């Protein structure tokens, strides 16, 4: 798959690095080209990276997505993975529906919410398996085939969880569980196993 990554921070390095190892062509666009080159030898401008890619991971802070998408230009037909978390102090959402905001800015793109629930260190694990159970990764969007493949490339299990209209629930889930974790609670212990 030809994957573009917007941003060269932790999430870009963790996910992009794993996908490159899995054999995908990864191209990175970032303000700092030297940082981008640490992730992949293929570095482009925002627009070059957009044009060259079938799937793009948007891995910049939530507050900068509109600015970055404007620099990227036409994204019609591309799968745009939104892993962003618009969360502020006290684990509250600073934007009520970040994925919808991204979809409005990236006209014609297939926005897919994924990879926002876990800390970057989890995405660096090869593979993320806990208690013998591979990590399940919820995906919300209307074109989920490519993202499901990219989830499997991490050794995780894709969990198709509805359309982009469900993405705000994933964003709220992230804020709620992060709040629990920060307070020292085991968020996973809130949920009974499926047979129950």
- Choosing from 3, 4, 5, 11, the residue that interacts with ligand NAP (CB under 6 A) is 11
CA proximity to 56, closest of 46, 71, 70: 46
Q: Confirm or reject binding of residue 85 to ligand NAP (CB under 6 A).
A: yes
Q: Confirm or reject binding of residue 83 to ligand NAP (CB under 6 A).
A: yes
Q: Confirm or reject binding of residue 21 to ligand NAP (CB under 6 A).
A: no
Asked whether 65 and 29 are in contact (CB, 8 A), the reply is: no
Q: Confirm or reject binding of residue 33 to ligand NAP (CB under 6 A).
A: no
Q: Confirm or reject binding of residue 18 to ligand NAP (CB under 6 A).
A: no
Q: What is the CA radius of gyration of the chain?
A: 16
- The one-character DSSP state at 135 is P
Q: Confirm or reject binding of residue 133 to ligand NAP (CB under 6 A).
A: no
Query: Stretches 82-90, 125-133, 140-148, 155-163: which one binds ligand NAP (CB under 6 A)?
Result: 82-90
Nearest-approach distance from CB 193 to ligand NAP, in angstroms: 25
Asked whether 165 and 175 are in contact (CB, 8 A), the reply is: no
Rounded CA separation 117/119 (Å)? 7
Q: Confirm or reject binding of residue 60 to ligand NAP (CB under 6 A).
A: yes
- Choosing from 21, 77, 92, 119, the residue that interacts with ligand NAP (CB under 6 A) is 119
Query: Stretches 57-65, 126-134, 135-143, 145-153: which one binds ligand NAP (CB under 6 A)?
Result: 57-65
Rounded CA separation 88/93 (Å)? 6
Helix (H, G, I), strand (E, B) or coil at 176: helix
Strand partners for 139: 160
- The one-character DSSP state at 41 is S
Which residues of this chain interact with ligand NAP, rule CB under 6 A? 7-12, 30-32, 35, 59-62, 64, 67-68, 83-85, 116, 119-120
């Amino acid at each position: 798959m030809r994957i573009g990554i917007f941003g060269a921070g932790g999430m870009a390095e963790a996910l992009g690095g794993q996908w490159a190892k899995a054999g995908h062509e990864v191209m990175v666009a970032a303000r700092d080209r030297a940082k981008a080159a640490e992730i992949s030898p293929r570095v482009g401008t925002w627009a070059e990276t957009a044009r060259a890619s079938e799937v793009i991971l948007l891995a910049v802070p939530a507050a900068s997505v509109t600015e970055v998408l404007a620099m990227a230009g036409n994204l019609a037909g591309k799968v745009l993975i939104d892993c962003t978390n618009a969360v502020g102090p006290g684990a509250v959402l600073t934007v009520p529906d970040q994925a919808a905001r991204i979809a409005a800015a990236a006209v014609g793109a297939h926005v897919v919410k994924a990879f926002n629930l876990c800390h970057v260190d989890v995405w660096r694990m090869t593979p993320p398996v806990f208690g013998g159970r591979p990590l399940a990764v919820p995906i919300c969007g209307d074109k989920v085939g490519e993202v499901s493949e990219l989830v499997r490339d991490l050794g995780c299990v894709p969990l198709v969880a509805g359309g982009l209209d469900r993405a705000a629930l994933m964003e709220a889930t992230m804020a709620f569980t992060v709040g629990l974790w920060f307070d020292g609670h085991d968020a996973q212990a809130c949920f009974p196993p499926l047979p129950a």
